[in-house]
Amino acid sequence: MTVATRARRVDGERLVSRVVALRRFIEIVDGTVPPERLAPARTVLERSGQRLSLSGDHTVVALAGATGSGKSSLFNKIAGLPLSPVGVRRPTTAVTHACTWGRSEPTTPLLDWLGVPTGQRFTRESALDGDDEAGLRGLVLLDLPDFDSVEEHHRIEVDRLLEQVDLVVWVLDPQKYADKVVHERYLKQFVSHREITVVLLNQSDRLAVTDVERVATDLRRLLDAGGLTGVPVLPTSAVGLPGSDDLRALLERTVTARQAALQRLAADVTVAAGELVPLVAVPASEADIDRASVRRLTDALADAAGVPTVVEATEQAYKHRAGAVTGWPLLQWVQRMRPDPLRRLHVQGGPGRPARPPTIGLLPRRRRASPELMAPTPATSLPGSTAAERAAVALAGRSIAERAAAGSQANRLPDPWPDAMLAAARSRLDDVPDTLDVAIARTDLGLAEQKLWWRVVGGLQWAAALVALTGLVWLAVRFVMSVLGLPDLPTPKAGILLVPTALLFGGLLFGLLLSIVVRPFVHFGAKRARRSADRKLRNAVSNIAMEMIVAPVRETLRSYANARDALAAATQ
Ligand SMILES: Nc1nc2c(ncn2[C@@H]2O[C@H](COP(=O)(O)OP(=O)(O)OP(=O)(O)O)[C@@H](O)[C@H]2O)c(=O)[nH]1
Ligand SMILES: [Mg+2]
């Protein structure tokens, strides 16, 4: 059975797209998922990038095993030359030896990457070989130090190379084939890499022919129990029967198929991606963040930002400003003496422009520059929010985050996403009060301009006042003339006092009646202005809630969904 035919063929392009998808996943979740959870996947990405950029024509096969199992002996036997010293002193091989077959592509970068010392690099196949070694062209065979060595640097070297090579050939011997360290510490780790694992029962010549079968079956059983089903078990010997022909044939088929490197990387990506699956295991909720939650947030923000105060002030300001224009002229000054409720809060009531000062009759009053009207960034003098209001905002923000983290089918999103949602909801919270304040100060409350009907009524008021004044002056002139004994003016006798008196009282009465008649209209207008201000301010607050709290949460939710898609693409 070949290594290549045991596994599904790995398509190089498909593998590259899986690697790209895994990289995308890491980019998306970077900063959200703790770095230590991503470290193994990052290592796999780095390694696969390097291996793919190096020779694709070569297959790197490592002979791994305990000391004295016969790795160097088999290495030399396959090479046909005594390249790696075989000894009785244990351990013998301290550094990795490499033998390369074929001269088609330089293997220096590959061997540099593998960290094989230059003194231990050999090239097999010379002109003298003819086509004898053709079957192994492309093989880079490594003789590793012992993995269970008393020398720690041997173990480190083996662990490093076992993560880099394309195929691992485990060399076991009849005495130690059942050794726990081999099975528990090493072979079990290759369960996901079964396609690139081969096990040899070396030194089989030491066993009776009938025992070889029995021991091989026992080894097979141990491997199956460890999850390594389907891994080839080959009895071999470096010095006698059954020899190493089966191993050589297996290596030839592996090298020809050129699949081992891709299978190794594909298995690495599968393992790395599989470890990350719990991070995005639950599908994100299909439903968007619901309107009710956004509304609760808007209400909480509106209360904290003092919207009800501004709404109340808008109604009062309407009455105040309308009264100052349409009221009885003799009492208008009283109205003007009172402070404007909106201006007292430093709310402009218009987009970036100051509220227009009240006019005297139809004429606009000379505008005076007051500091708050000239301020480049409007900011209200609304009282700061209370602790209870701030708590309500925090609670509403949390419920948006909770909603996003709810996931689908009543499954909460896995950690750390619920915390990430909460962090997103709070990410701009510090800027929210100022932004709200500016927005409220700039919201056009519809009071920037005087209403036309105010001006018409104001004009009538001033006309009536003029009539009354004419009557008053007339009466005054008459009075002075009669005191001085001057002759009467040429007017009909009956109208001597009637006309000026009628003018005076008619004018006054008309003005008074007019101010009484318009009062219900002013009240109606004030209520309307109140409703409109409430709507506009809540709109402005809602926009800020969406932009500064809901949008970051949605963005995080989108990242989660994208990360999930990327990992699914990396896993396939
Ligand atoms: N009978 C028999 N002896 C073998 C076989 N393979 C190796 N030996 C002997 O076992 C001893 C160790 O062989 P090495 O090839 O040095 O073993 P190794 O696995 O490279 O050992 P380290 O380099 O220490 O890890 C030597 O004396 C070899 O002659 C085999 O298949 N049959
Ligand atoms: Mg050796």
Q: Which ligand is nearest to the CA of 202?
A: 1
What separation in Å is there between the alpha carbon of 86 and the centre of ligand 1? Answer: 6
Parallel, antiparallel, or unpaired for β 363-364 and 359-360? antiparallel
Substitution candidate for ligand 1 out of 72, 176, 245 with most atoms within 8 A of CB: 72
Q: How far is CA 246 from CA 3, 38, 506, in A?
A: 12, 41, 127
- CA 301: distance to chain centroid? 24
Cβ–Cβ under 8 Å, residues 408 and 285 = yes
Q: Once rounded to an integer, what is the mean pLDDT over residues 289-309?
A: 85
3-state secondary structure of 199: strand
pLDDT at 411 over 90: no
pLDDT for position 374? 37
Q: Once rounded to an integer, what is the mean pLDDT over residues 34-38?
A: 94
Q: Once rounded to an integer, what is the mean pLDDT over residues 117-125?
A: 87
Q: Which ligand is nearest to the CA of 77?
A: 1
- Identity at 338, one-letter amino acid code: R
Q: Once rounded to an integer, what is the mean pLDDT over residues 553-557?
A: 90
What separation in Å is there between the alpha carbon of 90 and the centre of ligand 2? Answer: 9
CA distance 213 to 232: 14
N-terminal to C-terminal alpha carbon distance within the chain: 26
| Binding pocket residue ranges, ligand 1, CB within 6 Å | 65, 67-73, 86-88, 90-93, 145-146, 202-203, 205-206, 237-239
The contacts of residue 24 (CB under 8 Å, 6+ apart) are: 562, 566, 569
3-state secondary structure of 141: strand
- Nearest CA owner, ligand 1 atom 32: 203
Q: Which ligand is nearest to the CA of 203?
A: 1
- Nearest CA owner, ligand 1 atom 7: 70
CA distance 444 to 411: 44
Q: Once rounded to an integer, what is the mean pLDDT over residues 346-358?
A: 47
Cβ–Cβ under 8 Å, residues 139 and 117 = no
Q: Once rounded to an integer, what is the mean pLDDT over residues 66-75?
A: 92
pLDDT for position 565? 95
- Identity at 14, one-letter amino acid code: R
pLDDT for position 252? 92
> pTM for the whole thing?
0.76
Substitution candidate for ligand 1 out of 74, 84, 86 with most atoms within 8 A of CB: 86
Residue 365's pLDDT band, with cuts at 50, 70 and 90, is very low
The more confident residue out of 93 and 377 is 93
The more confident residue out of 426 and 344 is 426
Cβ–Cβ under 8 Å, residues 172 and 202 = yes
Residue 258's pLDDT band, with cuts at 50, 70 and 90, is confident
Q: Which ligand is nearest to the CA of 146?
A: 1
Which ligand 1 atom minimizes the distance to the CA of 145?
Answer: 25
- Identity at 501, one-letter amino acid code: T
pLDDT at 448 over 60: yes
3-state secondary structure of 504: helix
Per DSSP, which regions of 229-280 are E strands? 233-235
The number of CA neighbours under 13 Å toward the Cβ of 209 is 2
The contacts of residue 489 (CB under 8 Å, 6+ apart) are: 478, 481
- Nearest CA owner, ligand 1 atom 16: 86
The more confident residue out of 274 and 2 is 274
How many other CB atoms are found less than 10 A from the CB of residue 345? 23
Q: Once rounded to an integer, what is the mean pLDDT over residues 374-378?
A: 43
The more confident residue out of 367 and 288 is 288
Residue 352's pLDDT band, with cuts at 50, 70 and 90, is very low
Q: How far is CA 413 from CA 226, 277, 290, in A?
A: 33, 12, 17
Q: Once rounded to an integer, what is the mean pLDDT over residues 186-207?
A: 91
What separation in Å is there between the alpha carbon of 192 and the centre of ligand 2? Answer: 27
Q: Which ligand is nearest to the CA of 171?
A: 1
Residue 409's pLDDT band, with cuts at 50, 70 and 90, is low
- Whether the link from the prior residue into 242 is cis, omega within 30° of 0, is yes
pLDDT for position 489? 61
> What tokens does 460 get?
């009538």
What separation in Å is there between the alpha carbon of 95 and the centre of ligand 2? Answer: 9
What separation in Å is there between the alpha carbon of 305 and the centre of ligand 2? Answer: 78
pLDDT at 355 over 50: no
> What tokens does 478 get?
């008459």
pLDDT at 550 over 70: yes
Helices 417-426 and 551-571 sit at what angle, rounded to 10 degrees? 150
Q: Once rounded to an integer, what is the mean pLDDT over residues 222-247?
A: 91
What separation in Å is there between the alpha carbon of 233 and the centre of ligand 2? Answer: 21
Q: Give residues whose Cβ lies within 5 Å of ion ligand 2.
A: 71-72, 92-93
Q: How far is CA 170 from CA 69, 74, 165, 200, 299, in A?
A: 10, 11, 13, 6, 69
CA distance 120 to 103: 17
pLDDT at 29 over 60: yes
pLDDT for position 13? 87
- Nearest CA owner, ligand 1 atom 8: 70
The contacts of residue 324 (CB under 8 Å, 6+ apart) are: 332, 335, 336, 358
pLDDT for position 283? 86
What is the length of the chain? 572
What separation in Å is there between the alpha carbon of 170 and the centre of ligand 2? Answer: 13
**What percent of the chain stands above pLDDT 90?**
38
What separation in Å is there between the alpha carbon of 68 and the centre of ligand 2? Answer: 7
CA distance 29 to 415: 12
pLDDT for position 105? 63
> What tokens does 522 get?
């002013």
Which ligand 1 atom minimizes the distance to the CA of 238?
Answer: 31
What separation in Å is there between the alpha carbon of 96 and the centre of ligand 2? Answer: 9
pLDDT for position 351? 42
Query: What H or E segment, with its residue span, contains residue 100?
Result: strand 97-101
Q: Which ligand is nearest to the CA of 120?
A: 2
- Nearest CA owner, ligand 1 atom 30: 203
